[in-house]
Amino acid sequence: MTTEICAGIHYVGVNDRTTTRFEALWSLPAGVSYNAYLVVGERVALIDTVAEAFGSRLEANIREVLGDRKVDYLVVDHMEPDHSSSIAALRRLYPDLQIVGNAKTLQMIRGFYKLEGGMIEVAEGGTLDLGGKTLVFQMIPMVHWPETMVAWCPEQRTLFSGDAFGTFGALDGGIVDAQIEPDRYWDEMRRYYACIVGKYGVPVQKALQKVRALPVETICSTHGPVWQREIGRVLDLYDRLSRYEGEPGVVVAYGSMYGNTEQMAERIARELAESGVRPVRVYNLSYADPSVVLRDVFRFDTLIVGSPTYNGGLFPPVAELLDRIAARGVCKRKFACFGSFNWCSAAARLLGDFAQKMKWTLLCDPVEMCQGFGPEWFAACRKLADSVAADR
């Protein structure tokens, strides 16, 4: 079943409720959608495709809208294979199909799918006349690949935005935000941004400038809902995330081998709550979903990390979190840390070094415990929590 979003623009995407890891990394507890769209004028353009495993469903959705009418153009806004791996099959289905993309896109099509000919290269401000409908192209490189672009349909005030403004989570019946419960998608948008786009704050800011200059009434992303009623909130959320602007809140993330560092984390979290700090999110990094932890690191303005010393360094799950944060260039965070050791101190010092490297605000000296946790450490945990609370 397809959906006409507005006059002459149809949703022909699919839901994937079977893949468990996006990019073979990030969990998909609620699935994911691969969104594609038909723009129908005197000629027909398909905007992006779907993952190859779902190509037959895409074909069926196209035929439901067009019948035996052909697709004249395929516009490729983004070349990541979850959107492009059906291109070769579509060219076989529609041999005269003209593929529209920028220079980097067309090079990738040749590299990925060994296709030649029947390609139209577009650049910034380029247009495609469909007869009654027009597509205007703007480049948004590094959101989040170098070839990414958007297609703007001025007649319908509709923006085809590629991965920008996308979310994890399959679509439960509705396609447009007015047909769904949008509240369930905001955390999935944060999680998607943190994991997939998070490194590219500056390019996202440049893209937002272009989007805000347009009278947009509909945003058609390649993942998640089609946005109409909630466009203001979507743009605001991407703006804050791409400026690394955290809202008030504390993430306590820790690793613990035998439970002593864990008890410190629990004590600190309790002291924070007693001091009126809200919200507080606590994660055991040996078990927590990394994408959820990253989501909240992007969302909230304060991070507290705890680690035992392990082989003279940080506990591996803690080190992995810090590596992911550094790879995304997260800035403007307030930080506190705690550590433990048996015979050789290292973790607390290394956590403090990380914060200095990231140019974060250190709220207090590290708390470092030797061997087992007990009442003698209560005051130190309270002091750390008080330093965080005092900054609220």
Q: What is the per-residue DSSP string for 54-114?
A: GHHHHHHHHHHHHTTPPP-EEE-S--SHHHHTTHHHHHHHSTTPEEEE-HHHHHHHHHHH-
Same domain, 197 and 319: no
| Three-state SS at 226 | strand
DSSP count for the chain of H helices, then E strands: 12, 23
Amino acid in position 56: S
Domain edge (last residue) among 208, 242, 276: 242
Shared-domain flag, residues 121 and 150: yes
User: In this structure, are 237 and 360 located in the same domain?
Assistant: no
pTM of the model: 0.95
Number of domains in the chain: 2
CA 365/CA 342 separation, integer angstroms: 20
Q: Which of 67, 104, 108, 103 is nearest to 85 (CA)?
A: 108
User: Domain boundary at 242, 261, 280, which?
Assistant: 242
Rg (CA), the chain: 24
* Single-letter amino acid, residue 275: S
Q: Which residues contact 188 (CB under 8 A, 6 or more apart)?
A: 30, 167, 168, 169, 224
Q: In sequence order, which ranges of 146-230 are alpha helices (DSSP H)?
A: 183-192, 201-212
> Which residues make Cβ contacts (< 8 Å) with residue 232, sequence separation at least 6?
none
Mark whether 288 and 142 lie in a shared domain: no
Assign residue 283 the CATH number of its domain.
3.40.50.360
pLDDT category of residue 95 using cuts at 50, 70 and 90: very high
Q: Of 340 and 320, which is predicted with more confidence?
A: 320
What pLDDT band is residue 392 in, cutting at 50, 70 and 90? Answer: confident
Specify whether 309 is located in the same domain as 386. Answer: yes
Residue 1 has pLDDT above 80, yes or no: no
pLDDT of residue 342: 84
94, 113: one domain: yes
Same domain for 263 and 181? Answer: no
**pLDDT tens readout for residues 164-219:** 999 999 999 999 999 999 999 999 999 999 999 999 999 999 999 999 999 999 99
Shared domain for 315 and 360, answered yes or no, is yes
Q: Do 30 and 175 fall into the same domain? A: yes
Using CA atoms, how far apart are residues 345 and 273, in angstroms rounded to an integer? 29
Structure tokens at 160: 């085809």
Q: Which of 203, 223, 242 is the last residue of a domain?
A: 242
Phi, psi at 291, each rounded to 5°? -70, -30
CA separation, residue 257 to residues 267, 314, 316, 344, 380 (Å): 17, 12, 11, 16, 21
Same domain for 36 and 111: yes
Q: Tens digits of per-residue pLDDT, 338-374? A: 998 888 888 999 999 999 999 999 999 999 988 888 8
125 in the same domain as 22? yes
Provide the CATH number for the domain around residue 196. 3.60.15.10
Q: CA 3, 230, 143 angle in degrees (round to 5)?
A: 85
Question: Are residues 354 and 252 part of one domain?
Answer: yes
Residue 76 token pair: 């490729």
Range of the domain at 88: 3-242
